[in-house]
């Protein structure tokens, strides 16, 4: 499905990003793991190469601050130099600042918008520039969230940033279709990741409950279990492939049926 295609994944060192990397390797592709945490990047690379029995040359790591245009440009250029091609981009890097909106600072809002929205924009734009300059098609998948559709309490800044990613996805799909760049998104929910645990810790502290017990309840109602990052990754891998060319500008729910639209 992705034989010999090179996919760059931001936030690739852990959680959903790592699951996406696994799915891309599983589908025969090569991956560029881009993340702020260089130590975790190398650890994840070693594990992925072992699990999937692929040569180290199939996984390239690069530090990146997605909210910084210079850093983004350098990361994508380095990935292109290393592999000689880029075929797909997954914008997975994201942060959340939890708490009642009445208490939220402007800085909290700005951080979430800078990473979740502006970072996605910067990576998309640089990828498109490279592909258009080379006269090559490509695929982008933006990791939004069902929070961008539902609007969960105590997550206003995060919700708003992810809703904006959904809108950006639709816009870029329309703008770049003529260049052969297909843009879609996914909206996960209830995924077994460190970020979900952070949410459980924050909520637990506020309501006086054990976060580990609270985490057990944060599952899709129809499934009764957490979604695994690899399950999200396989949907993303499909959207990166030619089999998904008729799916355009969509932000598909990958939350086990929790979100109705």
Which is catalytic among the residues 158, 163, 187, 238? 158
**DSSP string covering 22-83:** HHHHHTT-EEEEEES-HHHHHHHHHHHHHHHT--GGGEEEEE--TT-HHHHHHHHHHHHHHH
- Return the half-sphere exposure (C-beta side, CA atoms, 13 A cut-off) of residue 29: 28
Q: Which residues contact 147 (CB under 8 A, 6 or more apart)?
A: 155, 158, 159, 162, 189
Bridging pattern class, strands 251-254 and 59-63 = unpaired
Q: CB–CB of 199/218 below 8 Å?
A: yes
Count the alpha carbons within 13 Å of 246 in the hemisphere toward its beta carbon.
1
Residues 244, 249, 255, 257: is their CA dihedral positive or negative?
negative
Are the C-beta atoms of residues 196 and 215 closer than 8 Å to each other?
A: yes
User: Known catalytic residue: 158?
Assistant: yes
Point out the residues that are catalytic: 158
């Amino acid at each position: 499905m992705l034989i010999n295609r090179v996919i760059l994944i931001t936030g690739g060192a852990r959680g959903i990003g790592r699951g996406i990397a696994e799915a891309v390797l599983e589908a025969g592709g090569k991956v560029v793991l881009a993340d702020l945490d260089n130590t975790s990047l190398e650890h994840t690379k070693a594990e992925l190469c072992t699990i999937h029995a692929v040569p180290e040359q199939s996984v390239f790591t690069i530090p990146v601050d997605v909210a910084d245009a210079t850093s983004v440009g350098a990361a994508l250029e380095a990935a292109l130099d290393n592999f000689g091609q880029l075929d797909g981009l997954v914008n997975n890097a994201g942060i959340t600042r939890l708490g009642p909106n009445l208490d939220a600072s402007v800085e909290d809002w700005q951080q979430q918008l800078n990473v979740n929205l502006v970072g996605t924009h910067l990576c998309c734009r640089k990828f498109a520039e490279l592909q258009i300059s080379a006269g090559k098609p490509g695929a982008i998948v933006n990791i939004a969230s069902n929070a961008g559709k539902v609007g969960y309490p105590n997550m206003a800044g995060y919700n708003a940033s992810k809703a904006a990613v959904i809108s950006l996805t639709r816009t870029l799909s329309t703008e770049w279709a003529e260049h052969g760049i297909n843009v879609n998104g996914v909206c996960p929910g209830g995924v077994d990741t460190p970020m979900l645990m952070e949410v459980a810790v924050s909520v637990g502290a506020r309501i006086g409950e054990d976060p580990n017990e609270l985490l057990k309840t944060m599952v899709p109602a129809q499934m009764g279990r957490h979604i695994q990052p690899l399950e999200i990754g396989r949907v993303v891998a499909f959207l990166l492939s030619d089999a998904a060319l008729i799916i355009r500008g969509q932000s598909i729910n990958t939350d086990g049926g929790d979100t109705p639209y």
